[in-house]
């Protein structure tokens, strides 16, 4: 029997090349080898305030991006998280075995609290949803006896927590959950912000100059790359003390399949302007077919695929949830 993978992206912002290189590209590769379940995690998206109309739009847009990336609904199940209510139910149950201490140590929680409150004071105004966000993520993963969770590096801490919760539940109530493993592909695991190479590229970044969205048009891509921060000096070198350049070379390399070493050689004696202009060409060329595919997908077609996906996975989720309910003493 094939092993199973599960992953998701929240419809919470503009999907960027970091999401693609860190996660989606890997999903596409893995879908042939594994039984694959991919989710648009709308319940995670509402952990910070969202405009309802925009959430609807983005939910379909994220699914379109999955499809345009090469996720094939004939090989995988693709669905919207809130369409399978077992996620919310299992999340509640897992809440009762998790500890507030382990949740408050999550880096993403600390970052998002800062984003929500505008400062580092984790005070009364931090939404509770971003605190127990990792519990809902654990429920997503554990409902499907997931073996492998392909994500970017930033999500490994959440997967570690998922493993802890699964083991804790199994110890208390008997073998129930498969213990999942994170799967990070080395290349692309952490694409940094174009405006700040010390922080990862993020869809909820304050400035659009942080990321290149998969839906950015040519003019926008060129403007953003031109404005991307660079390090002091003028040589094109791939070195730890030049984090901004390293990031741009990584993007160049991943989208062109030219190694960092070869890129260094190619730009010997040349400056940032030429390098950046070529990088912009590469990004624009990469985005073209991608955006063409997105434009060809209608909302109706995508929703049909998502509803079909939910129909396929719901029985798996229900069987696991019933098992959990029985074990903890609910009458079903």
Instruction: Specify the residue, 111 or 281, whose C-beta has the smaller distance to ligand LTN.
Output: 111
Task: Measure Cα distances from 51 to 55, 93, 113 in Å.
Answer: 6, 29, 19
Say which of 200, 242, 276, 320 is annotated catalytic: 200
Residue 112 appears among annotated catalytic residues: yes
Torsion 259-264-270-271 (CA) sign: positive
CB of 123 to ligand LTN, least distance (A): 24
Nearer to ligand ATP, 20 or 272 (CB): 20
CB under 6 A: which stretch of 197-205, 235-243, 260-268, 296-304 binds ligand ATP? 197-205
Residue from 4, 5, 9, 252 that binds ligand ATP (CB under 6 A)? Answer: 9
Burial class (CB in 10 A: 0-12, 13-18, 19+), 133: buried
- Pairwise CA distance, residues 148 & 305, whole Å: 23
Q: Is 203 a catalytic residue?
A: yes
Q: For this structure, is 301 an active site residue?
A: no
Place of tokens 């048009």: 217
Interface contacts to ligand LTN, rule CB under 6 A: 6-10, 41, 44, 137, 140-141, 149, 151, 155, 158
Residue in the block written with tokens 């983005």: 58
Choice among 25, 58, 64, 203 that is catalytic:
203
User: How, if at all, do strands 76-80 and 35-40 pair?
Assistant: parallel
- Please name which of 23, 68, 86 lies closest in space to residue 313, comparing C-alpha atoms: 86
Q: How many residues does the chain have?
A: 332
Under rule CB under 6 A, residue 110 binds ligand ATP: no
200 in contact with ligand ATP (CB under 6 A): yes
Integer-rounded Cα Rg, in Å, for the chain is 21
Strand partners for 77: 37
202 binds ligand ATP (CB under 6 A): yes
In this chain, which of 204, 220, 256, 291 binds ligand ATP, going by CB under 6 A?
204
Comparing CB distances to ligand ATP, the nearer of 204 and 230 is 204
Residues lying near ligand ATP in the complex (CB under 6 A) are found at 9-10, 12-13, 18-19, 22-23, 151-152, 154-155, 188-191, 200-204
Catalytic positions are 112, 200, 203
């Amino acid at each position: 029997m094939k092993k199973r993978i599960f992953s998701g992206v929240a419809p919470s912002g503009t999907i960027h090349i970091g999401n693609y290189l860190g996660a989606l590209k890997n999903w596409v590769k893995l879908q042939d080898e594994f039984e694959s379940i991919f989710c648009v995690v709308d319940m995670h998206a509402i952990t910070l305030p969202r405009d309802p109309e925009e959430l609807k739009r983005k939910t379909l847009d994220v699914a379109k991006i999955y499809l345009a990336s090469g996720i094939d609904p004939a090989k995988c199940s693709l669905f919207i998280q809130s369409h399978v209510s077992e996620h919310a139910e299992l999340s509640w149950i897992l809440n009762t075995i998790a500890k507030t201490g382990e949740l408050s140590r999550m880096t993403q929680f600390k970052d998002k609290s800062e984003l929500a409150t505008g400062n580092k004071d984790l005070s009364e105004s931090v939404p509770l949803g971003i605190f127990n966000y990792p519990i809902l993520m654990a429920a997503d993963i554990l409902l499907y006896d997931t073996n492998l969770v392909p994500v970017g590096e930033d999500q490994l801490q959440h997967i570690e927590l998922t493993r802890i919760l699964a083991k804790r539940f199994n110890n208390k109530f008997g073998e129930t959950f498969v213990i999942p493993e994170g799967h990070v592909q080395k290349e692309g695991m952490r694409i940094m912000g174009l405006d700040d190479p010390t922080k990862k590229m993020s869809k909820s970044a304050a400035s659009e100059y942080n990321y290149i969205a998969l839906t950015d048009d040519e003019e926008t891509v060129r403007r953003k790359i031109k404005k991307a921060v660079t390090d002091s000096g003028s040589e094109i070198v791939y070195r730890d003390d030049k984090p901004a350049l390293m990031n741009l070379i990584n993007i160049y390399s991943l989208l062109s399949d030219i190694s960092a070493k070869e890129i260094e050689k190619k730009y010997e004696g040349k400056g940032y302007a030429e390098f950046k202009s070529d990088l912009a060409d590469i990004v624009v060329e990469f985005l073209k077919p991608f955006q063409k595919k997105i434009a060809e997908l209608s909302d109706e077609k995508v929703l049909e695929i998502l509803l079909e996906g939910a129909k396929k996975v719901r029985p798996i989720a229900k069987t696991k949830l019933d098992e959990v309910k029985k074990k903890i003493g609910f009458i079903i």
